Amino acid sequence: GNLDLERFTILREELGISGPQIRELTRNHRLKRIEEVTDVLYFRYILKKKRVRKGLSLVVNALNDTEDKYFLTSSEKTELAAHREKKRQASQEAEIVKLASDNRRSALDRFKDWWPSVPEDKQLDIWGLFLKDEISLAVIRSKRLKSSTVDISHPLVSSAFLAFVARVGLIPE
């Protein structure tokens, strides 16, 4: 069998064991035991910020342990699960931020292609709708925007206007 990516990464990056050494460990020991030992070492060394010297020796000694020193207690398992959940949530949040940034960049690119091709009278109509939009009111008040001229030169106005035209579905896909 193969180790899951998380445990492989812990062995490789946190404990300093090479890929071939990890493959050798999986050939010589049960996968479940390697996973248990990896969790124990991660919890007791990495999370507790203890220095790891000779990671391979540490793992081999733990795998060959006959005194049952390398098992997690119930409270340690709970703490490790909470840590993993927090890490998973942080990863998901980072992915959402990245997606939002990518979507915004994509919308901005589409806006830049579309907006110059919109006739001037139509631009004024869209600008008028923007000025009447309740969500945009704070920007409108702070920048004292006028209905007679389209002015999206200020970054705050530009951002609010882009959000508005995207929200109301004016930017073509």
Give the residue, 124 or 105, on which the prediction is more confident: 124
Q: Cβ contacts of residue 172 below 8 Å, gap of 6+? A: 110, 114
Residue 1 has what pLDDT?
Answer: 63
Distance CA 56, CA 155 (A): 54
Q: Cβ contacts of residue 171 below 8 Å, gap of 6+? A: 107, 110, 111, 114, 165
Q: Cβ contacts of residue 165 below 8 Å, gap of 6+? A: 111, 126, 130, 171
What tokens does 103 get? 């979507």
Residue 64 has what pLDDT?
Answer: 92
pTM for the structure as a whole: 0.54
Residue 103 has what pLDDT?
Answer: 67
Kindly tell me if the per-residue pLDDT of 173 is higher than 80.
no
Judge whether 26 and 3 are in contact, CB under 8 Å: yes
Residue 31 has what pLDDT?
Answer: 93
C-alpha distances (whole Å) from 28 to each of 2, 45, 94, 165 are 13, 24, 38, 61
Residues 74-111: tens digit of each pLDDT: 999 999 999 999 988 988 888 877 776 766 678 788 88
Judge whether 132 and 126 are in contact, CB under 8 Å: no
Residue 163 has what pLDDT?
Answer: 84
Residues 24-72: tens digit of each pLDDT: 999 999 999 999 999 999 999 898 888 888 999 999 999 999 888 888 8
Kindly tell me if the per-residue pLDDT of 129 is higher than 80.
yes
Q: Which residue has the tokens 């909470």?
A: 82
Handedness of CA 36, 37, 42, 45 (dihedral sign): positive
